Amino acid sequence: MKKGLCFAMGLILLPLCMSAQTKIGYSNGEFERTDGIRLNNNEQQSAAIKIPASKLKALQGKKITGVRGVFGTRNVETVKFFITDNLNGTPLYEQTISGVSTSWKSFNLDTPFEITADKDLYFGFAITCTTNYRPLAFDRSYGEEGTSYGITENGNWEDLFDRKMGSYDIQLLVDDAPAFVDASVRPFDANGYYKTGSEYKFQGQLFNFGSETITSFDVHCTFDNNETETFTLNGVSIPNASTYNFDLPNISTENEGRKIVKLSVDNINGKADTYADDNECSSSVYFYPANIQRSYLLETFTSQSCMNCPDGHRVLEETLSERSESFVQLAHHSGYQPDAFTMEEDSYYVDFYNNGATFAPAFMLNRATNESINAGSPVFNVSRVYINESIDKQATIQPYVEMKFNTDYDKDTKLLSGTLTIKTHVKPEGADPRLTLCLMQDSIIAVQTNGGSAYVHRHAFRGCLNGTWGESIDLEEGKELTKEISYTLPDSIQSTFYKTYIKTAPEHMYLVAFVSNYNPDDVTDRKVYNCTEACFVKNTSTDGIADITENRAKARLLGTSSCVMADGDFDSLYIYDLNGKMVRKCTKPGEIFTLTPGVYVTKAVKDGKATATKSVIAH
């Protein structure tokens, strides 16, 4: 009985061993179910991979018996697998397949396709589905230039490498492929924020196109035309159709500008590579000056009638006080309903937050979305995690441009004049870069739900000076653009909806400038590259902190930056930096908080009268 069972098992296993298949393509098999892609707005979505004839030689005479694919959705009308030597020509082979899945699935070819290796071939899927779905799948690897193609918005086939989606998720199944070594080294994405004087670590990526498992290879790395460093990686195991990341020697430079990292691999498993044309690559790394002025535009959506806003504002300020980054803040009063501060532009900017939903308090950093945030609830007082998460993400994105104000304010004429200099370090990819100039008024005392009748409203947006979406500018890498500044500050600024006049206070007025992209059809494509601000009156003392009268109010700041205590006898304590911007308000002695190390001016209020002093906060 046992012998019969063994014999039967042998009959079952024998065909599987005889029909061993090798996966051919560029995908490493990675895919997230929520990561589908659309390349255009039409119902047909098509993508393909290109395999050169010289790369197919190792498989010449073998047959493709199946194709593997993974899709961003099952909701498709038709899917056709095709093989062609011309993406705009007649297919050499075409077959409709059904039963597609959001997991990898294999499909047998009705007629096996013999590889002749006499011409470059393209292998792909043509998918028809409604525009509600994203059916294409990519592995998000480093990818390789000239390997993945798709029909894009203009209706033409294009190389998709620059879109940084990785390799198209399609694999061919080849029967009885011979043992051969074919590795490719892929350029790493260096589109990050790197500064001179700091050391950085990058990773190279090797892809195994061949049928043999790779166990060793040599790497040659050259940085900025310096001496090439060579090292060997042994004891690795890189199966067919998979990627392997490896560390490169740390790089650093004292010189600003673009540096090139060249990579090449050879001696794969101690052998010459079957196809060596893709065994070298280069990546460009831009190093910004170590002292670059970089700030993040933090826009809040608030309202005087917002019950949660006072707590939300407090959490936001406390979180920012623990960060070392520089922030330019604008508070848009467009949450729930217009109030005495609301300007016409505010109603447009709320579109950045959940497609126009008027929830408050809420925030956007550099006008980039945070998928972790549920816009249906106030975000500030739910958790600091979202705020820090957004900052950490933006900190990895390069600022592209540097911005510097050089302004002077005439107190008699109320004229702010000077220049704004914009230097383009790296030209951004956005099609329509714009400069926006707007006004911000800080520390306005007015009513606030759950904040009382004398609430301090911070960073209030008071209107744009050059249009809701700014003005188009030309950004040329390595060039500077100078904008002349000339603006006369009015005695008051009228809000749009309540027709309320808010009296201006030069010591609390700021000119804010930021450079961003503008896409009229996509609010998620209006990201901010860099920003800056200039106070009308540059405060270096207690001047400009209004209504100071000597009385018995006393206050001092005790402790270090990580643990500051407000000590004294006061009803309210306002803490300002040396630019006159309020960084915190305390409502009772004994409050403990954090501050960035530096010099601060404190304004203690007791029985309606105030006293100002200076405090130094150390690390």
Nearest to 125 by CA among 53, 165, 77: 77
Domain ranges of the chain: 19-175, 183-288, 295-399+432-474+491-533, 554-617
Residue 28 is predicted with a pLDDT of 96
| Backbone phi and psi for residue 319, each to the nearest 5 degrees, phi listed first | -65, -45
| Backbone phi and psi for residue 506, each to the nearest 5 degrees, phi listed first | -50, -35
- Spatial CB neighbours of 155, under 8 Å, sequence gap ≥ 6: 40, 42
The CATH architecture assigned to 19-175 reads Sandwich (2.60)
Q: Which CATH class is domain 554-617?
A: mainly beta
**Rounded Cα–Cα distance for residues 184 and 364 (Å):** 40
Q: Is the pTM of this model over 0.85?
A: no
Please check whether residue 263 is in contact with residue 185, taking contact to mean a CB–CB distance below 8 angstroms: yes
- Spatial CB neighbours of 106, under 8 Å, sequence gap ≥ 6: 66, 67, 68, 173
Residue 16 is predicted with a pLDDT of 32
- Other CB atoms closer than 10 Å to residue 420's CB: what's the count? 20
Please check whether residue 499 is in contact with residue 515, taking contact to mean a CB–CB distance below 8 angstroms: no
Residue 618 is predicted with a pLDDT of 76
What is the SS3 assignment for 163? helix
Transcribe 415-467 into DSSP letters.
Answer: EEEEEEEEEESS--S-SSEEEEEEEEE--EEEEETTTEEEEEE-SEEEEESS-
Q: Give me 590's structure tokens.
A: 């004994």
Residue 543 is predicted with a pLDDT of 35
Q: Give me 176's structure tokens.
A: 């009885």
Residue 353 is predicted with a pLDDT of 60
Domains 183-288 and 554-617 agree in fold: yes
**Rounded Cα–Cα distance for residues 554 and 617 (Å):** 18
Residue 366 is predicted with a pLDDT of 94
**Rounded Cα–Cα distance for residues 243 and 183 (Å):** 10
Find residue 296's DSSP bridge partners: 327
**Rounded Cα–Cα distance for residues 595 and 582 (Å):** 12
| Below-70 pLDDT ranges, the chain | 1-20, 351-359, 370-383, 539-552, 579-580, 608, 619
| Backbone phi and psi for residue 210, each to the nearest 5 degrees, phi listed first | -80, 180
- Other CB atoms closer than 10 Å to residue 163's CB: what's the count? 15
Give CATH superfamily name and number for 183-288.
Answer: Immunoglobulins (2.60.40.10)
Please check whether residue 552 is in contact with residue 512, taking contact to mean a CB–CB distance below 8 angstroms: no
Provide the Cα torsion 588, 589, 595, 599; round to 10°. 110
Transcribe 230-269 into DSSP letters.
Answer: EEEE-S--B-TT-EEEEEPPPB--SS-EEEEEEEEEE-BT
Q: Give me 459's structure tokens.
A: 């960073």
